[in-house]
Structure 1
Amino acid sequence: MARTREFDTEAAVSRAMELFWTHGYEATSVRDLTRHLGVGQGSLYAAFGDKDGLYRATLEHYRSTFAEAALRTLDEGADARSAVRALLVERIRIAVEHGGRGCLLVNAATERLPEDQPTRRIVRDVLDANQEALADLLSAAAERGEISTRHAPHTLAAFLITFLNGLLVSSKITPDGRALEPLVEVALIALD
């Protein structure tokens, strides 16, 4: 009787995330995954069910690392404009790394939706959480008089998330932070 190889699933998810992020879901085969992770196919399936299960696990890992770090950036800003600028510039920096691999969640949305409903839920949850955090920040900033009240905070937050998603797609085409960062200043005009 063959013994299932034990491995660190958290480390495997992190390594698989890098592979999916660099090559995408479709271009990453199970063979690529087993080779990159150094595990057998049976162990991979026992831990995650299938390639889709591992992919969803990588999206959840991305959510709990990169997406949560982005929300912490909002809490660390001295004022709303600085916090939003820092968030957007940091997302550009991450997206242009490694030759412009973009954002794993935006990549998932463009590659896997609308057919893959579990992926849609994960992406939607992260976008909703980001938008809600931005709306809270902008609402408080409007009350303090830091930003204009011309637009509702939820509308501004939705605009900024939409802008960021477009910027992250653009980062795959033009993986140059110096070319993309000036666009952030244009988007920040919406806060005036």
Structure 2
Amino acid sequence: MARTKEFDPDAVLQAAVELFWRRGYEATTMADLVEHLGIGRASLYATFGSKHELYLKALDRYERTGSTAIVRELSRPGPALPAVRAVVRRYAAEATHDRLRLNGCMVTNTAAELAPHDPAAARRVERNWDHLESALHSALARAQAQAELPADRDPLGLARTLLVLLQGLRVVGKASADPARIRDAAELALTLLD
């Protein structure tokens, strides 16, 4: 007779997201995972596979949660440009918030830590960035069609510029104690939309 799991895999995966997001992949050991998740090593391997497989599942979960909210915000009916501005300002606010800035963004952290040598992680980072760029591009194209964005602006070029800015805000926010640096960069970038 098969044994039933004595833990909630969904809750354990969420706990793994939080630990990996805070500490990163390399700094998180299997012993850390066992302790933080409150399940045995054998159960961890049986349910999620290796540490790397667990990390990728955690990254997928993180990405689904974060991307859905941003896409929803950028896809609301009505004026599109205020939504784009709000997303940029939210990233800047999170990058300067005392508690949030130190974790940064799990996707951005993965890009810096794993993507250069881990093809599976790199694919997930690219997928996330493609998704965000597409949502920004759609919102900016809609803004241009609604005469909110000048006709001579390139919505795709602007979406790519904002994507790079947003990722940069996350990186600088983790390392800088100067919130003005983040806010000034975000506000100057938003002038591209005028």
Q: TM-score normalized by structure 1?
A: 0.90
Partner of 1:189: 191
Partner of 2:158: 156
> Which consecutive residues of structure 2, in runs of 5 or more, have no partner in the other structure?
none
Tell me how far apart the structure 2 counterparts of residues 15 and 77 of structure 1 sit (CA, whole Å). Answer: 35
Q: 99, 102, 110: which is aligned to 1:100? A: 102
CA deviation profile, 1:84-116 (whole Å, cap 9, x unmatched): 121122233444434521110000000002211
User: Is the 8 Å Cα contact of residues 75 and 135 (structure 2) preserved in structure 1?
Assistant: no
Partner of 1:129: 131
Partner of 1:59: 59
Query: Which aligned segments of 4 or more residues in structure 1 are displaced greater than 4 angstroms?
Result: 175-179
Residue 45 (str. 1) matches residue 45 (str. 2): yes
Tell me how far apart the structure 2 counterparts of residues 182 and 83 of structure 1 sit (CA, whole Å). Answer: 19
Partner of 1:147: 149
Tell me how far apart the structure 1 counterparts of residues 31 and 117 of structure 2 sit (CA, whole Å). Answer: 24
Aligned pairs for 1:174-185 within 5 A: 174=176, 180-185=182-187
Partner of 1:80: 80
The alignment yields a C-alpha RMSD, in angstroms, of 2.1
The answer to which of 145-154 and 85-94 deviates more is 85-94
- Using the TM superposition, give the Cα deviation of residue 191 of structure 1 relative to its aligned residue in structure 2, in angstroms: 1.3
- Count of aligned pairs: 191
Amino acid paired to 1:84: V
Partner of 1:110: 112
Tell me how far apart the structure 2 counterparts of residues 156 and 62 of structure 1 sit (CA, whole Å). Answer: 25
User: Is the 8 Å Cα contact of residues 34 and 41 (structure 1) preserved in structure 2?
Assistant: yes
User: Is the 8 Å Cα contact of residues 100 and 171 (structure 1) preserved in structure 2?
Assistant: yes
